[in-house]
Chains A and B, each alone.
Chain A
Amino acid sequence: MNRDRLLRRSVALVAAAGLALTAAACSSSSGSSDGGDKGGSADAAAPLDPNTKVTLSIDCEPPVTKAAERKQWEDDIKEFNKQYPNVTINAKDASPCEEPPAFTAQLKGKTQPDVFYSYFTDLNQVLDEDGAEDISAYVNEKTVPALKDIDPSVLATLKSDGKLYGLPTSNYKMGLLYNRKLFTQAGLDPDKPPTTWPEVREAAKKIAALGNGVNGYGDYSATNQGGWHFTAELYGLGGSMTTEDGKKAAFNTAEGKQVLQNLYDMRWTDNSMGATQGLKWPDLMTQMSSDKLGMYIGAPDDITYMVQTLKGKYEDYGMGPMIGGKGALLGGNDYLFKKGSTPDQIKAGIAWINFKYLTVGKGQFQYSRNKADGLPVGLPQPAFFTGASLEADNKAKAADATVPVANYAPFINTPVPGKTEPANAQQIYKVLDNAVSGVLTDKGAGVDKLLSDAETQVNQVLASLQ
């Protein structure tokens, strides 16, 4: 190598190293994205002083394609600003509100907004990235008047080591979604959905017998969603995915075997699940909205998706309680507060969330407005209120209902205790995907072996995560 070439290479390397270091230095800096008053208030427990000037960024503004929701959001900001004229909300629209890969990258780059949307199951991930502020001191009955009526099990999902990090905006419990039109065609009573697995099997057989590519029951088995639905079905039978300390698998039980055996029997013995498997969200909704699927396990907001996106009809869908009735997987979404937010930004964020999502008769609970805007009223979601707030909300909802509320009566009238997803859920679901896809794609599959292999693998994965 001659000297000139060596010199050129050295210069290039030094330049590259310098740039890399500069970029590293840039990327490691963090802080509030939109500024705001950095002074903060002395009393964290006090509500936001309306005279305080504060700016905060917040995501999950409905996109312009959802015209009614977008208009409501903008109207709500105007209404909110009447009480807090000095709060400037910089909204960022998104649909869906969270894309897990983008969310992960956002946390890594610390570019999340001051108040950011997340799923209940994201809290651990957010805390691992040191991405959220502890808001325990800010949340009380002065700042969130309906606090005492929010289901404690919902708030528990937003706590870690006793500290509260977020406020819920919606939640759900899973149950049995079914196509009432197909139920009627198959000679089943659409007001009495099955509540046990033998009943589901019988109903699925009758629906599949309609022919023309109609399946009686459907389930996911790809992108970790097979594991997710296995968990929901196991909870329904009273099982658990892991031991209480989360260190060992606990699904290789009679209940776990029953879940897989049910699926195997419906797929291969009854042929009521069809040959097309490897399904993932939203395949089951697509099938049901085109009247090709009788039943599946899902959440109430699937109905909204089937109607608003897939052009189904509310009257065609019903919802029953989780099969087995011993537990229903619960989930939902919330807003968290970015680490480094000022006290005033946190207070302003709480005030906005309280106004938009947690006050009966306002924001998302302003049912007369929803009705006028053509949005559904009467679905059993969100369902985090208890006590007086629940009563008032139910009354208001019934007065303006636009969907056939009676279709969800079996679900509402048979409350099933909610149960959260296990820790390290995605790692566990990935393994269980193989067991679920095994029974749905392999006629020679052995339930016992699939489950014991999954148990060994989950134990290995959990041990490596300790």
Chain B
Amino acid sequence: MRQTLRRNVTAHGFLLGALLCFALFSWYPMIREIVMSFQRTKRGHTRWVGLDNLDLLTQDPAFWQAWRNTLLFTVLALALGFAVPFVVAIVLNELRHAKGYLRVLVYLPVMMPPVASVLLFKYFYDPGYGLFNNILHTLHLPTSAWLNSSDTAMISVVIAATWMNMGGATLIYLAALQTIPGELYEAAELDGAGLLRRIWHVTIPQTRLILSLLLLLQIVATMQVFVEPYLLTGGNGPQGSTTTVVYLIYQYAFNFNNYGAASALGLVLLLVLAAFSAVYVRLSRNND
């Protein structure tokens, strides 16, 4: 045992560094957050309050609105953010020319600082001088209020978020697509399969693993959306239409100085995502 330890002392040394980082910057804050979820601080005195913080949250009308908005964002972001990169990856995979340039073009938005991208879209969406309404106007189509209406604010945020983030997913799909043996497509073609049937019967089954992994990651990421609505609409949006759960956590922590309630909401989000991930993994395993 002692000899094994001595032999691996360097490895253990490196491990200790990583452990220290995780302990200080991940595990400790997580434990602290769980503890604070059940505490409240008033006039310097911190006391245990059981589930009072959760009770306070559920009495806040913004709580349920934030969950509805977050779920709406997740559904819309998946509908666009999951399908669009996949289609783009298929198209890129099929191209014979200018592949490299197009890949760079698709990935370019990911390299832009998020704030710059968001400000760009803010300009595009402006109902007065914005690019989108100018195009619609030129084409004699009805214009939109975009971020200035509770009906269209969320979808506007989703479009901007998809544009900003789709490059990464596209490259991963593309890498997966390129591992599919060409013979499978040739065999399908010989059997008379058209483009859509080839995608359905060859592409999707062959990339199922990567698709399911990205679906899980995207759901976890989209449920934690903060930057895009915060910068595009100031967080709330018209009549609270873009208030998300993470923005509400931010409000409770930094605007209301209620770390207990903010931690409780963070814990609820963690539990929801953990439960979802567990169910998802179980279902995926059963399907396998």
Contact = CB atoms under 8 A, between A and B. Distances in A.
A461 B150 contact: no
A81 interface: no
A431 to B, nearest CB: 8
Interface in B94-128: 126-128
8 contacts: A15-B16, A128-B41, A128-B43, A130-B44, A278-B233, A441-B148, A441-B239, A442-B238
Given A278-B148, A433-B236, A437-B238, A23 B24 contact: yes
Interface string A446-460: 000000000011001
Contact of A438 (B23, B59, B238): B238
Interface string A330-353: 000000000100000000000000
Contact of B31 (A20, A100, A441, A456): A20
Nearest to A101: B254
A339 B128 CA distance: 51
Interface string B28-49: 1001100000000111110000
Interface string B232-273: 011111111000000000110111110100000000000000
B27 interface: yes
B186 interface: no
B169 interface: no
B262 to A, nearest CB: 10
A276 B128 CA distance: 7
B239 A437 contact: yes
Given A24-B32, A125-B257, A430-B251, A464 B60 contact: yes
Interface in B43-57: 43-45, 55-56
Contacts of B28: 19-20, 23-24
Contacts of A130: 43-45
B19 A223 contact: no
Contacts of B42: 128
Contacts of A275: 127-128, 145, 148
B61 A15 contact: no
A137 B55 CA distance: 41
A129 interface: yes
Given A128-B43, A276-B126, A464-B60, A100 B254 contact: yes
A386 interface: no
B238 A127 contact: no
B147 interface: yes
B148 A430 contact: no
B113 to A, nearest CB: 20
A224 B240 CA distance: 11
B200 interface: no
Nearest to B236: A433
Contact of A104 (B32, B233, B253): B253
Contacts of B257: 104, 107, 125, 128-129
Interface in B2-18: 16
Contact of B149 (A128, A274, A442, A465): A442
A457 B236 contact: no
Nearest to B255: A426
A85 interface: no
A55 interface: no
Contact of B22 (A16, A105, A456): A16
Given A278-B148, A441-B150, A461-B60, A434 B236 contact: yes
Given A127-B43, A437-B239, A438-B239, A464 B127 contact: no
A280 interface: yes
Interface size class on chain A is 35 or more
A406 interface: no
A165 B9 CA distance: 55
Nearest to B152: A441
A127 B16 CA distance: 40
Contacts of A461: 59-61
A50 interface: no
A426 B256 CA distance: 6
B128 A223 contact: no
Contact of B234 (A12, A127, A213, A223): A223
A4 to B, nearest CB: 10
Contacts of A456: 61
Nearest to B57: A464
Interface in A82-117: 100-101, 104-105, 107-108
B255 to A, nearest CB: 4
Nearest to B65: A434
A100 B255 contact: yes
A441 B19 contact: no
Given A16-B23, A213-B128, A430-B255, A278 B147 contact: yes
Contacts of B255: 100, 224, 426, 430
Interface in A1-57: 12, 15-16, 19-20, 23-24
A402 B150 CA distance: 46
Question: Which interface residue of B251, B253, B255 has the most chain A CB atoms within 10 A?
Answer: B255
B275 to A, nearest CB: 23
A107 B235 CA distance: 24
A277 interface: yes
A213 B22 CA distance: 53
Nearest to B59: A464
Contact of A278 (B45, B59, B237, B251): B237
A19 B234 contact: no
A423 to B, nearest CB: 12
A434 B240 CA distance: 6
A427 interface: yes
Interface string B129-149: 100000000000000010111
Contacts of A107: 257
A441 B23 contact: no
